Structure 1
């Protein structure tokens, strides 16, 4: 499970003005709810953070690290990207967290140059949603499970087999939990793992249409109902025997297996 910790700038896309302090506070409130949930479930996860958020909330980053979770990069700013931000965000996050930052996820899962990801020093990239969503993603030509590109391990978000229905945050807001569990189980059987991602602001109440301007398919089941949904999903996954891990742990296991395969391969 991964959580994209960013300044809550989503209302700006819908013509609403929200102060930077409130953007930080909403994301922080949601992150605290997530940490409480993970703590009670004894689950470790990955927090993809913007450097901008970390610089303003180093105390939150310290809690995330102290509780055994991974810090990865979500860029420098959530709504502004320059190639140099790849390396800059990594250095800032490593300085604040005191940990090595191995992974990257581009804001809004937008395309990013893998050669630049490699040059910035990342081991893995989780910026692909391997499905098609109008106006957002068109990735049917990409593998739906992990692969390498430019020497960087790619870990796409999970989708269902065959039709590639996205098992991402919006699905957890709008579909019934039994349907989500059924598709997740199918993806797990097919792929051997799930890569799910969410945002802290989903764990806060977003129903104020006048203030945030968010459409119903985003605000639906936000706040406490979303906390309960994710709690129920975690309990279900544990009952199925699924093990939770940080993304860097998964990446390390994949790379070790790949090394063994290459070592055992016959010399041509």
Structure 2
């Protein structure tokens, strides 16, 4: 089983590299990438989860409604991508439910940053996919976290997938820079070990990011962006389907875990 998640947000990443970009252009770039993703998913006939900021959804409600019409799950990515307050947890959930007319049960923190699990539970979420259980300089130091799903404050934690043993992250940057043949081998080994994969990407990756003057991105971010990235993800999906892997929304995976726990005998 493969869980594909796409973090749909106002495209503010250039700010991290000292560049300025208008809010309208942030929305336009994210929306252009989202259209590419939706077309790809429809072509492959698979359903995924879109983790959306309320800020994006409020400004692009038609895109959210298209996601729902196509059968995808809407989950929360916070209210804003670069601003967080505890009250945003509940506020983003309610805003997304109002726009999508669906129940929002999942959450992913912007930039996979730490978040108080007690507050996640209080806000009414059933699952949280905000952990990258690896070490990346200046970003994550999560070797002490489980590699696979676990419960915290009765909220199902679904970490992003990393390889067994060395915990190499199978995340968006890996899909830009590693040979697909190597990614497929690591994905296969990880799926065999864990029984599932949890992979995440962003719509702006499906647009051309090579303009260094405009975005300021280093080569390892812009490499294989735009049409090249759509081809790589399409190739990966084809490989997965040819090898018998199935794709599922994250809320469906959550239900599977809950039902499995209910069926397990209680030991006295």
TM-score, with normalisation over the residues of structure 1? 0.98
SS of structure 1 residue aligned to 2:193 = helix
Question: Can you list the C-alpha shifts for 1:84-136, whole angstroms capped at 9, x where unaligned?
Answer: 00000000000000000010000000000000000000000000000000100
How many Å apart are 1:71 and its aligned residue? 0.1
Residues of 2 paired with 1:138 and 1:14: CA distance? Answer: 22
Match of 1:105 in 2: 108
Among 166, 169, 183, the alignment partner of 1:163 is 166
SS of structure 2 residue aligned to 1:244 = coil
Match of 2:80 in 1: 77
Among 115, 119, 122, the alignment partner of 2:118 is 115
Aligned runs of 1:42-191 on 2, under 5 Å? Answer: 42-191=45-194
Match of 1:193 in 2: 196
Aligned runs of 1:233-252 on 2, under 5 Å? Answer: 233-252=236-255
Moved over 4 A (4+): none
Residues of 1 paired with 2:263 and 2:25: CA distance? Answer: 49
SS of structure 2 residue aligned to 1:37 = helix
Matched residue count? 265
Match of 2:259 in 1: 256
Residues of 2 paired with 1:258 and 1:89: CA distance? Answer: 29
Residues of 2 paired with 1:253 and 1:235: CA distance? Answer: 24
Specify every segment of 5 or more residues in structure 2 that has no aligned partner in the other structure, as ranges.
none
Match of 2:206 in 1: 203
Residues of 2 paired with 1:6 and 1:93: CA distance? Answer: 13
How many Å apart are 1:234 and its aligned residue? 0.0
Residues of 2 paired with 1:252 and 1:201: CA distance? Answer: 30
SS of structure 1 residue aligned to 2:36 = helix
Match of 1:265 in 2: 266
In the alignment, structure 1 residue 221 sits paired with structure 2 residue 224: yes
Question: Can you list the C-alpha shifts for 1:247-266, whole angstroms capped at 9, x where unaligned?
Answer: 000011011101111xx213
Bigger relative contact order, structure 1 or 2 (CA pairs below 8 A, ≥6 apart): 2
Residues of 1 paired with 2:218 and 2:58: CA distance? Answer: 30
Match of 1:23 in 2: 26
SS of structure 1 residue aligned to 2:192 = helix
How many Å apart are 1:233 and its aligned residue? 0.1
Over the aligned positions, Cα root-mean-square deviation in angstroms equals: 0.4
